[in-house]
A and B are shown apart, each in its own frame.
Chain A
Amino acid sequence: MKEYILNLLEKNKRIDNRKLDEFRKIEIQKDFIQRAEGSARVKFGSTDVIVGVKLEISEPFPDTPDSGILRTDAEFTPIASEDFFPGPPNENAIELARIVDRGIRESETIDLEKLCLEKGEKVWGVCIDIRIINHDGNLIDASALAALIALTTTKIPKIKDDEIIREEYSGKLPLKHKPITISIGKIGGKFIIDPCLQEENLLDSILTVSVREDGKICAMQKRKNSLKVEEINKIIDLAVNKSKELRKLI
């Protein structure tokens, strides 16, 4: 199978009849979970991810007493793959959550300063939970897109007598920026985007890049083996270019 995939790539073809720089069919469903303050379900081909955003009243960090808090978690639920099992998140789930978190945090997606309820005492905590429904590769890009879209749908609940009134809202979650995260894989001398699982397993290397709407890069992560400087340069240009395609979907 490996040789078959590599032979196809040699001819600039892929096992699912895509071009090297072509995404799979992307499907987006907003407000999928009414009980969450924000949510989205995103499919890249048969990769299927649900992100829910919950808002909680939290204590601020001592060094940022008037800023809201962001936390991102991911669960590789065993429904999604024969290789996922019940138990605490493994290193892949934690890496995924941290990469998505970094893209959102470093791009300053959320205007955290507007989420202060009582300086030094109470702020909004924004909890992003990523749930994998079916794993067919490129979980990071799908999760990052789902997280961003979920944030755009997120509403802030009303508060009465220090208690959250769920499903009644005072406004939308204030957002400043919109980062797009793209992973570009290197395989047999070719660069591909949105690798499916069979391709992902054969990658020589992969670099994940988060790009803001103003063109600034806000997070990167090399995830396998090594890359040469000129390869990194090429990947960055390709990621910036391809991010425009995904940005249209938000």
Chain B
Amino acid sequence: MTEKEKIREIVLPGEIIGNTKTEKSGHGTFIRDQNIISKFLGIPKKNKDYISVIPLSGVYTPKRHDKIIGIVISVEKSGWIVNTNSPWKGFLSLSEGVRDFIDIRKVSLKRFFDVGDIIYTEIVDVRNGDIQLSMKSPSSRKLEDGVLVKITPSKVPRVIGKEGSMINSIKEKTKTIIRVGQNGVIWLTGQDIEKAIDAIKMIDEKSHIFGLTDKINIFLSDLNDENR
């Protein structure tokens, strides 16, 4: 990494990045006097007519149908309260959490999910501060053991890569199993967890430079040489 890293264009809050005469205002922007203006310190992106800004930092904002990794923080009478790594707690109701019929007078909900349990879950509804979770989708499940790392939520797509290319390459070369929550929480287990974490952290920190994919591939192949 001796040669100077080329950086993508960075825009600032309040910066004019387009005009409504020729473009449409996308995510991370707002309109004032026909100008399209960035709301964030971030990287501008143009997709057809839409101009948007991907923030370089910030908390996770829950969206419907997002798959996230949450941690159970309390067990209630009718469900579970879950930390969603966002400013809002999530609620997993009994009916969304467990398939079978449960008689709550006889069975403790702790049997299914207890405080501290890590779950891969889907957001099924968001209304103001109310976030409803569900375990009904096939990929949802409790994640046993493993390690959690947190990254900037807006950088999740970079970690996953085009059609999963980045994450698959990390999994393969470090012999790990990885689940990436849209909320920026990543769960890992397997052989070379430490190296996989290093690669993920590198993507988080360097998401704004060009040629990131190559850089990560070099990092991962160095690792294979070391192991030989």
- Report A's interface with B, CB cutoff 8 A: 1, 3-4
In the complex, what's the smallest C-beta–C-beta distance from B118 to chain A, in angstroms? 10
Q: Offer 5 A-B interface pairs, CB within 8 angstroms, sorted by A.
A: A1-B147, A1-B148, A3-B145, A4-B147, A4-B193
**A1: chain B residues within 8 A (beta carbon):** 147-148
Chain B: CB-nearest residue to A4 = B147
A1-B193 Cα distance, complex, nearest whole Å: 12
Which applies to chain A's interface (DSSP): helix, strand, loop or mixed? Answer: helix
A1-B148 Cα distance, complex, nearest whole Å: 7
Chain A: CB-nearest residue to B189 = A4
In the complex, what's the smallest C-beta–C-beta distance from A59 to chain B, in angstroms? 50
Chain A: CB-nearest residue to B145 = A3
A1-B71 Cα distance, complex, nearest whole Å: 12
A94-B148 Cα distance, complex, nearest whole Å: 33
**A4: chain B residues within 8 A (beta carbon):** 147, 193
**B145: chain A residues within 8 A (beta carbon):** 3
In the complex, what's the smallest C-beta–C-beta distance from A4 to chain B, in angstroms? 5
In the complex, what's the smallest C-beta–C-beta distance from B167 to chain A, in angstroms? 20
In the complex, what's the smallest C-beta–C-beta distance from A45 to chain B, in angstroms? 15
**A3: chain B residues within 8 A (beta carbon):** 145
B114-157 vs A, Cβ < 8 Å mask (1 yes, 0 no): 00000000000000000000000000000001011000000000
A1-B145 Cα distance, complex, nearest whole Å: 9
Chain A: CB-nearest residue to B149 = A1
In the complex, what's the smallest C-beta–C-beta distance from B154 to chain A, in angstroms? 19
A4-B147 Cα distance, complex, nearest whole Å: 7
The B49-92 residues at the A interface (CB cut-off 8 A) are: none
Pick from B147, B148, B193 the residue with the most CB of A within 10 Å.
B147
A206-B79 Cα distance, complex, nearest whole Å: 39
In the complex, what's the smallest C-beta–C-beta distance from B88 to chain A, in angstroms? 16
The B189-218 residues at the A interface (CB cut-off 8 A) are: 193
A3-B188 Cα distance, complex, nearest whole Å: 13
In the complex, what's the smallest C-beta–C-beta distance from B100 to chain A, in angstroms? 30
